Amino acid sequence: MQTRKLGSSGPEVSAVGFGCMGISFGYGPPMGRGEGVDLLRAAADRGVTFFDTAEVYGPYTNEEVVGEALAPFRDRVAIATKFGFDLGADRDPRGMKGSPGLDSRPERIRRAVEGSLGRLKVEAIDLLYQHRVDPEVPIEDVAGAVKELIAEGKVRRFGLSEAGAGTIRRAHAVQPVAAVQSEYSLWTRGPEADVLPTCEELGIGFVPFSPLGKGFLTGAMDADTKLESTDFRSTIPRFAPEARKANRALVDLLADVGRRKGATPAQVAIAWLLAQRPWIVPIPGTTKLHRLEENLGAAAVELTADDLAGIESAAAKITVQGARYPEHLERLTGR
């Protein structure tokens, strides 16, 4: 597995990481704990050294699975987790019913870190993200709280998820930001406007989540695919049947390139991301071993300048249909 340095202050990790959320959260019924452990260990055995989780996934259960699975590999993997949601019993942290509660008060950050350390079975969190920007807590206070935790040896690096460029700069001035995580793929290109240039200027790594468009860019879904009520994609406008039908044009584009490269649409989608910047590390997730191996194979797909120009030209003629989140969740991004 090829490796990449995640920005100027980030760790050197596998070029393709693993987004662990779907093992226990969001995409229908969770995997069995043993199955999840086996899949994560299979990823580590195949050279993956960057794993992404969060306390809200489950909540809590995803970190527990990650901690159990990666304990034998702890000296050679980097684990990222996140804080920032209010996980009180009266909240729905998934955001499926109304707006999720945010809580990035310094005392809440400290409690979240103590819990994550125990569930992950680690002495220090390699990369700690604020999951979503909390408008009620100045980002300087958030960065200051994480800075204290870094000084105490409980956290190694600070990250932000779905933050806007201004917030990134303000946080970075207090505690250097090692990585920014946002949704980014051929059908979600918002970070290109301000976030990626800011990361490049400040030496911050970038971690695209949902690099396969929450599974759509693999080509495995069409307008007739049925989504269970427990699958959070059933709440996303972009996954409405008519939107899926229109958005197949992007899958067709990836498939066309894949036929020339001997690669699948998913591999081309990930290879396209890897070609954007040398400090980008996508984190596709899966619950299937063959999909894991397919995703990792993307690191070997070489897209030439002509390939990239052709993809850009063709993609510019395609208008993606549907918002990427319901309105109440979209409001939590880019702040």
pLDDT for residue 271 is more than 60: yes
pLDDT for residue 280 is more than 60: yes
Residue 76 in any domain: the answer is yes
Indicate the average pLDDT of the chain: 94
User: What is the pLDDT averaged over residues 238-246?
Assistant: 95
Which of the four pLDDT bands, split at 50, 70 and 90, describes residue 88?
Answer: confident
pLDDT (tens digit per residue) in 299-312: 999 999 999 999 99
Which residues, including other chains, have CB under 8 Å from residue 334's CB and lie 6 or more apart?
162, 163, 164, 190
Provide the annotated active-site residues.
57
Q: What share of the chain is helix, strand, coil (3-state, %, to 5)?
A: 45, 15, 40
Residue 332 in any domain: the answer is no
Q: How many domains does the chain have?
A: 1
Which of the four pLDDT bands, split at 50, 70 and 90, describes residue 16?
Answer: very high
CATH assignment of the domain containing 201: 3.20.20.100
pLDDT for residue 230 is more than 90: no
User: What's the pLDDT score for residue 54?
Assistant: 98
User: What is the pLDDT averaged over residues 61-90?
Assistant: 92
For the chain, what percent of residues have pLDDT higher than 70? 96
DSSP string, 289-314: HHHHHHHHHGGGPPPPHHHHHHHHHH
Phi, psi of 309 (to 5 degrees): -65, -40
Structural domain for 70, as ranges: 3-212+277-302
Residue 226 in any domain: the answer is no
User: What's the pLDDT score for residue 100?
Assistant: 54
Tell whether omega for the bond before 59 is within 30 degrees of 0, i.e. cis.
yes
Residue 264 in any domain: the answer is no
Residue 218 in any domain: the answer is no
For the chain, what percent of residues have pLDDT higher than 90? 90
Residue 255 in any domain: the answer is no
Residue 177 in any domain: the answer is yes
pLDDT for residue 89 is more than 80: no
pLDDT for residue 158 is more than 80: yes
- Residue 228, both tokens: 């269970």
Residue 139 in any domain: the answer is yes
User: What's the pLDDT score for residue 93?
Assistant: 46
Phi, psi of 174 (to 5 degrees): -95, -50
Which residues, including other chains, have CB under 8 Å from residue 44's CB and lie 6 or more apart?
69, 70, 73, 76, 77
Q: Global pTM? A: 0.95
pLDDT for residue 92 is more than 90: no
d(CA 39, CA 36): 5
User: What's the pLDDT score for residue 248?
Assistant: 96
